[in-house]
Structure formats: structure tokens, C-alpha cells
Amino acid sequence: MSITRRGFIIGLPLFAAGCATSGADTFVTAYGPRREEPFPLSALSPNEVKPELRRQLVDYETRHPKGTIVVDTPDKRLYYVMGDGKAMRYGVGVGRAGLALRGNAYVGRKAEWPRWTPTDNMMARDPINRQYAGGVPGGLNNPLGARALYLYRDGRDTMFRIHGTNQPQSIGHAMSSGCIRMLNHDVIDLHERVPTGARVVVMQA
């Protein structure tokens, strides 16, 4: 073997390593700053998102067709079925006991930086919400975050949402008023993938 060929082969691993994408690079790509938004989002810190709750493409065998959203409530994960045995998986926050959505629905509409208005039930459970009865405009302090997918059944709004949150620490927990919370960076990603009319399946224990 010539010196030139030997040097080329030895150099291959170094070249390949130089082209590889590290876990840190992947995190920055997924959770870096979103300056183009009407309300720019700061980058998330790795300390704010546990590795098992980060957005990632995973193997996922399911009977549900491509384009279906599957919410695994007990496991606090949301899967967007990509087909060919793959899904995009996201960590989510879910409703407290007795408040979570059950069964099937579909995405009736989508919104960017949506306005939030507490439901009558939310105001009855927590009177402090009455001060927001007139609605809260979209923005960084809005409980619905950067995007919302409105879940419908039989042409009617169920009042349940898949939405962003300004409380990243709530992801992976059951503490919402029934809606499905996602990191703002993740709900933006899901919003871009999901068309209106997409089927939503909510799995319970």
C-alpha cells in the first residue's frame, strides 16, 4: 500500500468525525433562539429539557396511519406518525387526574400566538381566572404559548388544545387543566407538520 493511500485511509475517521453532528449541535438546532417569531423566543438550556423529553425521531410501530397525532397520556409523550415505522416524539404535559381528554378528536383549526380565554369550568375551579374572562392576547406570557391546535369532535370545539407553554418545567407532568402542553419550540415544529383535519388519538392507562 502506498504512503499516500495509507494516509488517506487513516484520515477517513478524522474526516467523518469532523462531519458528524454532535448531541449539542442537535439540541441547539431544535431549541435555539427563534428570532423570526412575532414574539422572539430565547434559546432553551439543556438543563430545562430532560434528554428523554426532547424532540426526536424514533421507531414507532402503530396501526394508526401516517399523519396521526397519538398522545400517550400515562407516558407523557406525543407522537406524530411519520409512516414506515417512524414517528416524531415530543415530551408533553398533560391534564391533572380527571381533567384529561379521552378518546379521539381531530384538529379543527390552528393558530399562531393565539388568544387565550379561560373556560367557564376553569373559572369555576379557580376564581382567579375570572380576571381573564375577557381574554388574554397572544404573547410570551400567554398560557397557550406560541401555537395552538384546537381539538374538535363532530364539528364542535371540545375546548381541549395542544398548545405551547411558558412553563417548560411542566413538561413531563400532569398538572394542566386538561390541555396538552408542549415546549414552545416543539409546538412550533408540530404546528408546521400537522394539517387541519389531522386525526388525534388520546391514549389513557
With CA atoms as reference, report the closest residue to 145 among 175, 179, 178. 179
CA distance 117 to 133: 6
In what side-by-side order are the strands of the sheet with 156-165?
A: 56-59, 86-91, 77-83, 69-72, 199-203, 103-112, 147-153, 156-165, 180-183
- Dig out the grid coordinates for 173 from the structure: 407532568
CA distance 159 to 81: 24
- Catalytic site residue from 173, 179, 185, 191: 179
* Rg of the chain taking only CA atoms, in angstroms: 20
Secondary structure element (H or E) that encloses residue 75, with its range: none
SS3 129: helix
CA distance 40 to 29: 16
Tell me if residue 19 is catalytic: no
For helices 23-31 and 184-193, the axis angle rounded to 10 degrees is: 80
- Dig out the grid coordinates for 77 from the structure: 409523550
- Catalytic site residue from 163, 173, 185, 191: 163
- Dig out the grid coordinates for 148 from the structure: 395552538
Catalytic annotation, residues: 163, 179
